[in-house]
Amino acid sequence: MDRIAVALLVGFLVIAGVAGLIAGSGPSHLAVTVLHAITLAVFVLLAAFSIPTHKRNAALWTLIGAQYVLVLVNWLALMANYGEVARTGATGYVFGFPTATFLMIAGTAFTALPLVAIYVFGFRRFIFSHEDEARFEAIVRDARASEALQTDTLNPDSGAG
């Protein structure tokens, strides 16, 4: 595992622990908050680990960190809203939706923006570079040449017209 990924995971856990202490009441709430934060971190890190190791750099980890912060903020807002509804029995409304529903629909969609940025703006940098494309084209060219050679060897009359 990359050292940066480990440092990010530790940072995520510290942030989650502090957020759990602020938002919660007692150690059991903190444990649940940290467990959920770890689960969210795993999903975000899986996206990062789908990118080849040699292409992971500080810019990528910054976007992955932003992704995690957005996911964590959305999740904490959602949990705070659920807690408020449980305590008071009342809910607010955003654009005609109950706040929790709005957070689930819009909040979850917006948390994916850093991943979209990585794929759209960083496609050649992180996903499929020009060098990758050249290697792929060479593999396809070699495979086709090998296939043509096999066809000519197995069927010598195929070239005669």
> Could you tell me if 152 and 108 lie in one domain?
no
Mean pLDDT of 40-61: 85
Which structural domain range is residue 32 located in? 3-128
What's CA 80's distance to the chain center, in Å? 24
Q: Mean pLDDT over all residues of the chain?
A: 81
Indicate the number of domains in the chain: 2
Nearest to 17 by CA among 4, 40, 33: 33
Q: Do 99 and 147 fall within a single domain? A: no
Q: How confident is the model at residue 41 (pLDDT cuts 50, 70, 90)?
A: confident
Strand positions, DSSP E, the chain:
93-94, 97-98
Grade residue 12 by pLDDT with cuts at 50, 70 and 90: low
The verdict on 77 and 141 lying in the same domain is no
Q: Does residue 72 sit in the same domain as residue 147? A: no
What percentage of the chain reaches a pLDDT higher than 70? 78
The three state secondary structure string of 1-37 is: CCHHHHHHHHHHHHHHHHHHHHHCCCHHHHHHHHHHH
At residue 50, the 3 state secondary structure works out as coil
